[in-house]
Chain A
Amino acid sequence: MYRVDFFDAKIIEGTTTSIVLDNGNIKEVSENYTKGAGVRALSRGSWGYTSVDGDFDLNKAIGAASELAVGMDERSPKEKVDILDISKPVARNMPHVRIDPRDISLEEKVKLLKEIGNRAKIDGISSTSAVYSESSYKVLYTDSTGIEGEYELMRTGFAISAVASREGMYQAGRESRFGVTGYEIFEKHDAFKLAESAARTALELLDAKPAKGGNMPVILDPELAGVFAHEAVGHASEADLVLEGSSILENRIGQQIASPLINIIDDPTLHEYGFFPFDDEGTQSQKTVIIRDGVFDSYLHSRETAAKLGGQPGHCRAQGHAKPIVRMSNTYIDNGNSTLEEMLEEIRNGVYLIGSRGGQVNTGEGVFQFNAEKGYLIENGKLTSLIRDVSLSGKTLEILNNVRMVGNDLTLNSGRCGKGGQLVPVTDGSPHLMVSEALVGGA
């Protein structure tokens, strides 16, 4: 029917409700209903892709994508692309939603969010904001090889931020928790306490000193170390980046690239924010070890990259009905056996970097830069002055090799990861890490 070698479609339909609170007032209550399909077609080495919204005709969309693929192949023919065959996925190991948020009235959610906002409004805090969101959607996947799968997933979560100001200086504290769960997320996480904690961070930072830059030993808290695992190592192990020549991890499989203390894992089967039962090309999800005892073990693959490089697919995701690309899910550095106290004792003098305000990485050159939320100077094995506007930068492989101690206190944080203009839910995490030398940037 279609003159192509392969096609597939992801159909997604769902509802999102969000409430935004700003300085104690509801700023926005909104509902979104969405339905759409993303269709890919492959003709020899060329991809065609079509996305359609709303009330669409799937056959017409497959026809349009096929026409694009064939057209591209005729105009710029190139080496054939293979798509790995997979077995039919099963929506197993689904998270159990105990309290369906759709059974809770909008009024009750508004009331709860207002109370959360109030808790952040402590003395010295000049403004607060809080967000609640829930989304429930159904995904259907089908391809030209006969693979089919279907699942429904619920995601809920909340975020709080508080700003403290004094004499023209402003500092912010933030907390957020998102998961593949129902309204019981408010039982798992104490949103009131987190609101107070965001406010306290903002207040503390008013009295923090600007950091002094330079090369020094550092301890990374689980949040910042998790961001490092995701941004610097996770992205570089995405096989699409490897194939386009944008990864320092190209041709590194089997090599010792990190301290033997380091194990980095991506596991979409965990019931965390990055969970999925099968990915957006129908591959059953499974745990992937990226680095085992310091040795680079595996890239993250799609069906296309796995066919090309050898490996297991299962890491190809799309935002909504966009074109799926290789992505992470729940990425973490696994536990070691040190404690923070032992690290402080060992490091003697350096900087303890806490939390993350985001960062960026150049996977091709293997360099990165992350801003910590705050830090402490470490003097004679003790945490002393609080410091602000502090960042960590350097070369990914150097940091991996400079890890001297890995903590036993793995913690995961939820967030959204952007790549190719698409955002997908992920978590990243780590225990505390002690690094013998890293470049700390200051103001």
Chain B
Amino acid sequence: MMMYELARKGLKAAMEEGADEAEILLVEDHKTSVDIRKNEIEGAKENISQGLGIRAIVNGAVGFASTNIISHIEDAARSAVRSARVRERDPDWIALPSASKYPEVSGVMDPELEQMELDACLLQTVRMIEGAGTVPGVIVTSGSFSRSYGKRLIMNTNGVEVEESSTGISGFADVITTKGDVSTAYDFAISRNNDLDFAAIGKNAAELARSSQHGISIEPQRTDVILHPFAFADLLGSTFIPSIDADNVQKGRSNLKGRIGEQIATERISITDDGLLEGGIDTSRSDDEGVPSQRTEVVKDGIFRSYLYDTYTAGKDNVKSTGNASRGSYFSTPSVGPRNFIIDYPGLDVIADTDKGIYVNTVIGAHTANAISGDFSVEARNAFTIKDGQIDKPVRSLMISGNIFEMLTSINGAGTDIRKVGGIITPSVRIPGMSVVG
């Protein structure tokens, strides 16, 4: 109740100051985390955060202000109006979203997580350390457990009023070998429900670090490369996803401009952006400006179907928003961002299906890729040679380079090992003839 009254007060202040339209986003978040440092629990953290962001529109110009001092809501509203007044009218501005019916979503609010006590948090953290401990000669250098419970209210002067509650839980572990050859690895998992296997996070990371010891060097070559979901998701996030962002497209910053309807990937691939996926990390009834969430076909059987839009970019192209307004925080204005981003490719035992090649678990430096051209050159971590359908030897140091758009057309295999890597949901994929430099 308190949140609604506050939001109405802010909207009223903005309108009185001269806004034509206004919007308030209010968030409250309660997060508990437990940190691991060198196989021991270092301590626990509680972050109680709140904040609000206000968009005010004056004569087709948008102003924005934010604060975490809730009692300053009216000052922030006036500041947003002031910001709008220094801008000229934006001819592309149409309006804030209007009142809508919202779909129901499921699997995003787990009362067990909302009420989770410190003891339970601690127990899960200890399980990660114990999981890693099942592999001799490996320790967790750093790691953390976290659970959160939050509420969000979006209200605007066009009748939007949507409130949601959600929970989340995650764990990650960075490990290192303590005997013999130094090797590191990590694993993580995230969910909206209390269903994670924390011992497995520690154990997977530890086994990977151990099997990566005594890596060999390999000659520069072109070969089949299988990318684990972590590696592939990292590359997609830095290259392909920015290319389907309507804002980048409209500004000439995308290779996919004007290519709707074209074959841009192998016909065996389909890609869906899904704001409604049950239990998805990016699932919610509305996007971050109150547009109902939906499923959007991005690529269907290799054919490029749709960009992702928020209300503003949709207005420019005269289409409907795909419900992809995204805000990193209450202090950010909305911009286009993916929801649950699902890669679909018929799966098989892709390692067994590969005579010779390289398996790459993770990459470092994906954010250095050229998002526009799609070119990347990254360091492969925890990589292995594949021989006669089996993982053979670890590889010490390896650079892999290529181009995401060429990769999408050439992928010729995928695993059955589908993982949720944050909001990106993908199997491992095989790319033929990739350039590797050892």
Interface residues of A (CB under 8 A from B): 22-23, 25-26, 28-36, 45-55, 64-65, 68-69, 71-72, 75-76, 78, 106-107, 110, 126-127, 163, 165, 168-172, 213-214, 240, 243-246, 248, 323, 357-362, 364-365, 367-371, 389-391, 393-395, 439, 441-443
Complex: A76 Cα to B378 Cα, angstroms: 40
In chain B, positions 124-139 with a C-beta closer than 8 Å to chain A are: 126, 139
17 A-B residue pairs with Cβ-Cβ distance under 8 Å, sorted by A, are: A26-B87, A31-B76, A32-B67, A34-B331, A46-B43, A50-B47, A55-B70, A71-B44, A75-B119, A171-B373, A172-B370, A214-B220, A243-B38, A371-B368, A389-B401, A393-B399, A443-B403
Contact across chains for A393 and B379 when beta carbons are under 8 A apart: yes
CB B374 to nearest CB in A, in angstroms, measures 9
Closest 6 pairs between A and B when the two form their complex, measured CB to CB: A47-B43, A170-B372, A369-B379, A371-B368, A360-B364, A53-B68
- Which chain A positions have C-beta within 8 A of B367? 358
In the complex, what residues of B have CB within 8 A of residue A22's CB?
251
Q: Is B365 an interface residue (CB 8 A)?
A: yes
B46 contacts chain A at the CB level, 8 A cutoff: yes
Give the complex CA separation of A368 and B397 in angstroms: 10
Q: Are A127 and B220 in contact (CB under 8 A)?
A: no
A168 and B220: CB pair below 8 A?
A: no
- What does DSSP make chain A's interface, helix, strand, loop or mixed? strand
Q: Is the CB of B368 within 8 A of A357?
A: yes
Q: Mark B392-416, 1 if CB is under 8 A from A, else 0.
A: 0000010101110000000000000
Measured CA separation A308–B399 after assembly (Å): 38
Distance (Å) between the CB of A140 and the closest chain B CB? 16
A264 CA to B67 CA in the complex, in Å?
Answer: 40
Taking a contact as CB atoms closer than 8 A, the residue among B44, B381, B399, B435 that contacts A72 in the complex is: B44
Asked if B37 lies at the interface with its beta carbon under 8 angstroms from chain A, I say: yes
Q: A33-B76, A362-B364, A393-B397 are in contact. Are A246 and B174 (CB under 8 A)?
A: yes
Residues of A within 8 A of B331 (CB): 30, 32, 34
Point out the residue from B72, B176, B435 that lies within 8 Å of A245, measured CB to CB.
B176
Q: Which listed residue (B41, B64, B402) contacts A30, Cβ 8 A? A: B64
> Given A48-B44, A68-B46, A214-B220, A31 and B368 touching (CB < 8 A)?
no
- B368 and A359 contacting across the interface, CB-CB below 8 Å: yes
- Is the CB–CB distance between B333 and A30 below 8 Å? yes
CB neighbours of B403 from chain A (8 A): 443
Which residue of the partner chain A has the closest CB to B332? A30
Interface residues of B (CB under 8 A from A): 34-35, 37-38, 40-51, 62-72, 75-76, 79-80, 82-84, 86-88, 90, 118-119, 122, 126, 139, 141-142, 174, 176, 178, 182-184, 220, 251-253, 255, 331, 333, 364-365, 367-368, 370, 372-373, 375, 377-379, 381, 397, 399, 401-403, 435, 437
Say yes or no: A64 contacts B46, CB within 8 Å.
Answer: yes
Known contacts A53-B49, A245-B178; is-contact A46 B41 (Cβ 8 Å): yes
Expressed in whole angstroms, the Cα–Cα distance for A38 and B180 within the complex equals: 41
Are A30 and B83 CB-contacts (below 8 A) given A51-B47, A365-B182, A365-B183?
A: yes
| Docked complex Cα distance between A378 and B379 (Å) | 25
CB-based contact A443/B401 at 8 Å:
yes
Q: Do residues B141 and A33 form an inter-chain contact, with CB atoms below 8 A?
A: no
Find out whether the CB atom of B69 lies under 8 angstroms from the CB atom of A54.
Answer: yes
With A78-B41, A126-B252 already in contact, 18 other A-B pairs whose C-beta atoms are closer than 8 Å: A26-B86, A33-B66, A33-B67, A33-B76, A51-B48, A51-B49, A71-B44, A72-B41, A163-B253, A170-B255, A213-B220, A243-B38, A244-B141, A362-B364, A367-B397, A369-B378, A389-B401, A391-B368
CA distance in complex: A323, B33 (Å):
12
Q: Which residues of B contact A240 (CB under 8 A)?
A: 37
With both chains docked as a complex, state the minimum distance between the C-beta of A119 and any C-beta of chain B, in angstroms: 18
Q: Judging by beta carbons under 8 Å apart, are B220 and A33 in contact?
A: no
